Amino acid sequence: MLTAIVGINWGDEGKGRMVDLLSSDYDIVVRYQGGNNAGHTVVNERGKFILNLLPSGILRPETVNVMGPGMVIDIEHLCGEIGRLREQGIEISPEHLKISDRATICMPYHKLLDCLEEDRLGDAKFGSTRRGIAPVYADKYMKKAFRMGDLLHMDEIFERLPAILEWKNLTIHKGYGAPEVQFEDIKNWLIQYGTPLLPYITDTTAYLDTAAEADKKIMFEAQLGIMRDIDFGIYPYTSSSSTIAGYAPVGAGIPGRKLDCSIGILKAYSSCVGEGPFTCELFGEKGDELREAGGEYGAATGRPRRVGGFDVVASRYGARIQGATYIALTKLDVLSYLPKLPVCVAYEVNGERTENFPQGKALTDAKPIYEYMDGFMTDISGCRTKEELPEKALEYIAYIEKAVGCPIKYVSVGPEREQYITMF
């Protein structure tokens, strides 16, 4: 049984909370893309844990966690993350954590390049997380990156490294004018942070293939929503990896196997962090109230997120691209203060109405067409069954189901583990 759990929106859909809830049914949890540029907080009976790189099954001793070939791994960050979890009493062993020998290493010079470029851009900056993600994916496709499996033969890395550094210093030193990256520094870094990880590095493709053959339950955990996908998102305001369910078997290392199920996480309204087109954005008092009600402030930075009503155009597109089998609708409780629920039903592009999600200039120029549905004006955070939900909330859920063209199986009505409803 192969299941992907993916975001249908711009991110911050509440994936962390749903993965934590649903992963208990799975034998193996796999991260298949991205690096430490995002992450989530999981709160359970053992405490509060921040995960950036490790799959969220790491908190359950009986779950095997795999970091797939599609990932980019900053080994210094990973050592730190493992260390912090150990301090909190979480046991981490090679039986319980497996790192693909094909995953790419995010080096200190990737992080440096990310920072140098953001600083150079000044006011025009992209809002990069400065973790080196775009530079390391660029090197991967330039075929000038190192992989986790290379750490098993460090001498070979040290042979290749001078030529790579010569090339990197053309940009870092000669281009940006920063001090040259030194061979000894990178060598020591690789030894310091690579050595403790050696027991975890393995051929995860063979492991997962055998597990899939034995009918183990495998969950692929995405980071970031569809709108941040490098191909299908709001390019260039995207991440540098494929966040879509279709990429999950590839990034996980078993491209020949097909997904049985794709669970799409969809928020009952919209939010977007950082720059880029966000057609359904609500401004002024309406936006402020929704932001406040949903607590829409960046987890790490406290930066206010942009917010909007439910966006039918973007969500239908998201559900299709993700091939969602069914949906988990999150944060419905947040809308309980609204007498009228704003829904962005279509976009206007060049004076014409469209229900198809545009890209490029058409997306930048798009204006929202809003309609309003009756609100439910009741606190639903205590509801645990479909029958307990007010009629107007059920109408809203049914409307979204029809508009997006995908059944809603779970409705989340609060951040706590048990605050959800199974609809069928």
Binding site for ligand GDP (CB under 6 A): 7, 11-17, 40, 299, 330-331, 333-334, 412-415
Residue number, 165 or 413, with CB nearest to ligand GDP: 413
Which helix or strand (DSSP H or E) is residue 271 part of?
strand 270-272
Q: Residue with CB nearest ligand GDP?
A: 16
Whether the Cβ atoms of residue 82 and residue 65 lie closer than 8 Å to each other: no
Closer Cβ to ligand GDP, 293 or 362, answer by number: 293
Return d(Cα 284, Cα 11) in angstroms, integer: 23
- The whole-angstrom separation of Cα 132 and Cα 93 is 27
The verdict on whether 114 is a catalytic residue reads no
Q: Nearest approach, Cβ of 11 to ligand GDP (angstroms)?
A: 5
Indicate which residue of 40, 110, 114, 333 is catalytic.
40
Q: Which is nearer to ligand GDP, 204 or 419 (CB)?
A: 419
> Which residue number, 6 or 148, has a Cβ lying nearer to ligand GDP?
6
Active-site position among 12, 74, 150, 333: 12
- Nearest alpha-carbon partner for 76 in 43, 22, 35: 35
Quick check: helix, strand or coil at residue 158?
Answer: helix
Q: Which of 294, 293, 355, 333 is nearest to 420 (CA)?
A: 333
Planar angle of CA 28, 34, 36, nearest 5 degrees: 95
* Token reading at 118: 């953001």
| Longest CA pairwise span in the chain (Å) | 68
- Check if the beta carbon of residue 211 is closer than 8 Å to that of residue 26: no
CB of 267 to ligand GDP, least distance (A): 8
How far apart are the C-alpha atoms of 27 and 214, rounded to whole Å?
A: 11
3-state SS class at 182: coil
Q: Which is nearer to ligand GDP, 77 or 331 (CB)?
A: 331
What is the Cα 314 distance to its own chain's centre? 17
Least gap, CB of 281 to ligand GDP (angstroms): 19
How far apart are the C-alpha atoms of 242 and 423, rounded to whole Å? 30
What the block records as the tokens of 33 is 């893309």
Nearer to ligand GDP, 167 or 297 (CB): 297
Cβ 223 to ligand GDP, closest distance in Å?
A: 8
Query: For residues 396 and 141, what is the distance between their CA atoms, to the nearest angstrom?
Result: 44
229, 242 contact by CB (below 8 A): yes
| 374 carries an active-site annotation | no
Residue among 213, 239, 236 nearest 228 (CA) = 239
Neighbour count for residue 108 (Cβ, 10 Å): 16
Shortest Å, Cβ 380 to ligand GDP: 10
Nearer to ligand GDP, 329 or 349 (CB): 329
Taking the complex as a whole, the smallest distance from the CB of residue 208 to ligand GDP amounts, in Å, to 23
Q: Are 343 and 312 in contact (CB under 8 A)?
A: yes
| Least spacing, CB of residue 17 vs ligand GDP, in Å | 4
Which residues are tagged catalytic?
A: 12, 40
